[in-house]
Structure 1
Amino acid sequence: MALGLALPAAAQNVDGVVRPAWAPSGLPDRVVLSPGADAARQMAVAWRTDARQADAVAEIVEAIDGPAFESRARTVDGLSTDGVVRGGHGRYHTVRFTDLKPGAGYLYRVKGADGWSEWLSFRTAADEAAPFRILYFGDTQNSILSKGARTIRAGLMRTSPDVVVHAGDLTGRSHDWEWGEWTAAGGYGYAMVPQIPAAGNHEYSDDDDGRRRLGPLWAAQFALPENGAEGVVETSYYTDYQGVRFIVLDGTAGTSLDALDAQTRWLDRTLASSTARWNIVIQHQPIYTCARPNDTEALKAAWEPIYRARNVDMVLQGHDHCYSRITDGDGKASGEARRAQGAAQGPVYVVSVAGPKMYGLNDRALTQPDRVAADTQMYQTIDVEAGRLRYRAYTVSGVLYDAVDVVRAADGTKTLREPVESLPPLRLCDGDVGPDGAPCVGSAK
């Protein structure tokens, strides 16, 4: 489905003054849908209004094809918080929809002091494994509306996803205007397709004591499952969707806030208890970097052994502002040799970037990844099938850039299948010249 996207005027209120484009009103805005822990029966929504709307109120009804559905709608109350206290404006609201029917279409709307939102639609996950499509974005972070939005909109409009994954650094800082740009970038696509975000380091800010703290607008903007690791419940969680368990981790809390052990224990338990056909992890800082001199060693030491032991299928990441797909940490040639000898495939690690900020590639980028790109805004899809994850990566203009299938046999072992699609040459910078002939903007890390 093609998703219409709201286009408010851009505003740069770095001085803290609320510009008209980002001021709350009596009508709801910044509406974002998220799955519950059981996406077949639970969904949740967050939105913003001005301060006159004191309570969080939504209505929901099972969808029909005719227009006379309002009388069947039920009212659901939720939680409302003061946006000023959170560093924003107006009030933020969350409502959780429970006891939904699996595989069913619903309509919902949310309340403001001057009226309701339009009726928005979503579909719950099926109660069992069934094919669906994941859309995955790396960091948006900078110039979100002016340059990052084109990637978000291209992905939403071209791929018709069932869920959307964000691998962190959605914003550059926890400023109200940046969240305004981020929600404007996705428009009602964010309100109708469940969003699965991971927090990145830029969702955090340093307080006066130099300690990192999660920006208060994160919890206001998302109504995420509350089933994460102890001490990290706002940014670690899992959701089960139609045969896939999505597990979201917070690398910043792990490396900077003494939350690594708690997340590691929770990760192992959450994978051990999973009955899903596929397990996909989402984290911001990559296990294997394509830009930095060193990998994220603390996360790599703690989490990679669990990914292998628990047979994680894919790890979707951001942070590095480049693109890479790694199927063997020892390098592309090593992976090809092992697979030729019949070795089973371990996790596939992907790093991507949706926004305009770019880093230069590191000294391993041409030998370790199976596929790499510099200075390229991208979006990715994963088509989930009974015995296959069909992974495709596209440039922002829609050119197929990378493709691989992860195939699972009846005994659970996995192999890689290179599809027949032809791929373009690697997109690399040549000195100061980027892959499009324009200046290379990637900075060295």
Structure 2
Amino acid sequence: MHRPLLLAALLCAALANAQANDATSLPRSVGLPYAPGKLADRIVLTPGQNAATQMAISYRTDLTQTDAVLELGPALAGPSLAAKASPLGGNTQRLDSENGPANYHQIRLEHLQADTAYVYRVKGSAGWSEWHQFRTAKATFAPFSFIYLGDTQNDILAIASRTIRQALRSVAHPALVVHAGDLVASRDDLAHDDEWGEWNQAGGWSYAAIPQLTAFGNHEYLETSNPDGSESRSLSPHVPAQFALPGNGASGVASTSYFSDYQNVRFVVLDGTSALDLGTLQAQTDWLESVLRNSEALWNIVVMHQPIYTCARPEDTEPLKAAWQPLLERYHVDLVLQGHDHCYSRLTHAEGRQATQAARQAKQAIGPVYMVSVTGSKMYGLNDRARSQPDRSAEDTQLYQTIAVEQDRLRVRTYTADDTLYDAFDIRRDAKGRKFLHEPKLALGGERYCTASVGPDGLPCTARTK
């Protein structure tokens, strides 16, 4: 055979073999960009139990960087940051994935000064990352704002990233970003490490500079088949590797439940999946009561994935409602931030929005306000209660929330991904500690519902019935 013909035959055989392999392999991100390298990536900053004095950083490298190395120093006005920085070490764990083996490194920062700007960089075997800057919380109450995001989960980089970035643009100096879980899908037909790569790319540098306060949902758990044919759940190994959390949570759930105090606001994070499926409901209930009973915070905010009151699923999450709602009421929790239902809901009274209006007119105090939101592309249609029970609801809509914390008021604003103000309310507290709902007279976008198969944008409705 002539040499050109031989080369052509070999090339055709190679292409055919590659196509056959591709047909049986998992779909991968275009260009396969998420392999670990000799420089640090996936850098995430998380708050400690006391965000005035404690922070933690996690990052990833390939195996050539064998230990966790960080330099920390004061933020300076000039460029000589390394001159005043000191080295710190931490822990390293290996994680094998579709993109190859990687080392995940975690460094916990203790004994920081309150209300102080710091810079840090982390090391890979080929050199240092860029310098990242953060500020610790004040030791006592001071006003601040934070961002709340629902499920990112699907089309994380292609679709959800827009919402995340619009949220970051909308708030000057957000103190925190709160995630309500299902950051990824962890589907059997996707490369899980690619999903985590997309999540990190969607937030980019902001995850390294703004503390991320994250709840975890059912899609952060992996389903496995048992020999008897039953299925069980186990936490994705990416979660404890990717997030250096305070470790002060409920017994048996320390990797995914915790609390963090930020400027006299207590954030309490629960793991509904573990409570519902892994037998930790009582342990988390006991822990939740202790954390709320002992709280001296001005405001208490609970973050969890599965909602107490659903806006898409036919039934509320009854086990969590029975165990946790009495505690949320008894200990005067102010906001409950949730995800899971892939729709929007803001609920004050279980009896419905008319009860909310009557309570406002009668100047009656309120309990917690329950919110559900969604950031990514996966949408569920509203259930038969969601157009009348919540004070405001939406379907087939990507959203983000900004929450401004003041001494006597929480200002909550919900925006659609195109920056249209969709919902606005304040929780006001009087001198006796009673809380009242106030809806400021602001121009809001019309309620976004699907009509038959037509969505609120005049296109086919993407929300499916749950």
1:184 is aligned to 2:201: yes
Q: Which residue of 1 aligns with 2:21?
A: none
Q: Which residue of 1 aligns with 2:5?
A: none
CA RMSD, Structure 1 to Structure 2 (Å): 1.5
2:346 to 316, 319, 325: 325
Q: Which residue of 2 aligns with 1:26?
A: 38
**1:233 match: secondary structure:** coil
Deviation for aligned residue 1:134: 1.1
1:223 to 244, 247, 253: 244
How many angstroms apart in 1 are the aligned matches of 2:438 and 2:359? 14
Residue identity matched to 2:218: N
* Larger radius of gyration between Structure 1 and Structure 2: 2
Contact 2:376 2:398 (8 Å CA) reproduced: yes
How many angstroms apart in 2 are the aligned matches of 1:199 and 1:372? 23
How many angstroms apart in 1 are the aligned matches of 2:247 and 2:82? 31
Q: Which residue of 1 aligns with 2:221?
A: 204
TM alignment of 1:343-358, pairs within 5 A:
343-358=364-379
**1:316 match: secondary structure:** strand
How many angstroms apart in 2 are the aligned matches of 1:17 and 1:374? 28
Contact 1:87 1:216 (8 Å CA) reproduced: no
**Aligned CA distance change for structure 1 residues 152 and 18 (closer, same or farther; 3 Å):** closer
How many angstroms apart in 2 are the aligned matches of 1:19 and 1:253? 35
Of 363-372 and 172-181, deviating more is: 172-181
Q: Number of aligned pairs?
A: 433
- Structure 1, unaligned stretches of length 5 or more? 1-12
**Aligned CA distance change for structure 1 residues 18 and 230 (closer, same or farther; 3 Å):** farther
Q: Which residue of 1 aligns with 2:424?
A: 403
Contact 1:88 1:217 (8 Å CA) reproduced: no
1:159 is aligned to 2:171: yes
How many angstroms apart in 2 are the aligned matches of 1:88 and 1:47? 16
Deviation for aligned residue 1:18: 11
TM alignment of 1:14-413, pairs within 5 A:
14=26, 20-84=32-96, 89-160=101-172, 161-173=174-186, 175-209=192-226, 210-413=231-434
Residue identity matched to 1:166: H
**1:289 match: secondary structure:** coil
**Aligned CA distance change for structure 1 residues 264 and 31 (closer, same or farther; 3 Å):** same
Contact 1:322 1:361 (8 Å CA) reproduced: yes
Contact 1:86 1:216 (8 Å CA) reproduced: no
Contact 1:57 1:76 (8 Å CA) reproduced: yes
1:427 to 421, 424, 448: 448
How many angstroms apart in 1 are the aligned matches of 2:128 and 2:149? 30
Deviation for aligned residue 1:304: 0.4
**2:225 match: secondary structure:** coil
Deviations 1:247-271 (A, max 9, x none): 0000000000000000000000000
Q: Which residue of 1 aligns with 2:11?
A: none
Deviation for aligned residue 1:331: 0.8
Deviations 1:312-369 (A, max 9, x none): 0000000000001001111111122233333211000000000000000000011100
Deviations 1:32-63 (A, max 9, x none): 10000000001101110011000011110011
Residue identity matched to 1:199: F
**1:211 match: secondary structure:** strand
**1:179 match: secondary structure:** helix
**1:21 match: secondary structure:** coil
What is the TM-score with the length of structure 1 in the denominator?
0.95
Q: Which residue of 2 aligns with 1:438?
A: 459
How many angstroms apart in 1 are the aligned matches of 2:220 and 2:32? 24
How many angstroms apart in 1 are the aligned matches of 2:36 and 2:81? 29
Q: Which residue of 1 aligns with 2:7?
A: none
Deviation for aligned residue 1:162: 1.1
Of 309-318 and 415-424, deviating more is: 415-424
Deviation for aligned residue 1:16: 7.3
How many angstroms apart in 1 are the aligned matches of 2:118 and 2:432? 38
- Structure 2, unaligned stretches of length 5 or more? 1-24
Residue identity matched to 1:226: G
Contact 2:72 2:88 (8 Å CA) reproduced: yes
**1:84 match: secondary structure:** strand
Residue identity matched to 1:177: D
Deviation for aligned residue 1:310: 0.2
Contact 2:98 2:193 (8 Å CA) reproduced: no
1:418 is aligned to 2:439: yes
Deviations 1:109-137 (A, max 9, x none): 01100011000000000000111111000
What is the TM-score with the length of structure 2 in the denominator?
0.91
Identity rate, percent: 53
**1:207 match: secondary structure:** strand
Deviations 1:360-402 (A, max 9, x none): 0000011100001110000001000010000000000101000
How many angstroms apart in 2 are the aligned matches of 1:308 and 1:14? 46
Deviation for aligned residue 1:243: 1.6
How many angstroms apart in 1 are the aligned matches of 2:353 and 2:443? 19
Deviation for aligned residue 1:301: 0.5
How many angstroms apart in 2 are the aligned matches of 1:149 and 1:422? 26
Deviation for aligned residue 1:208: 2.7
Residue identity matched to 1:341: A
**Aligned CA distance change for structure 1 residues 440 and 417 (closer, same or farther; 3 Å):** same
Deviations 1:55-75 (A, max 9, x none): 011110011111123121111
**1:182 match: secondary structure:** helix
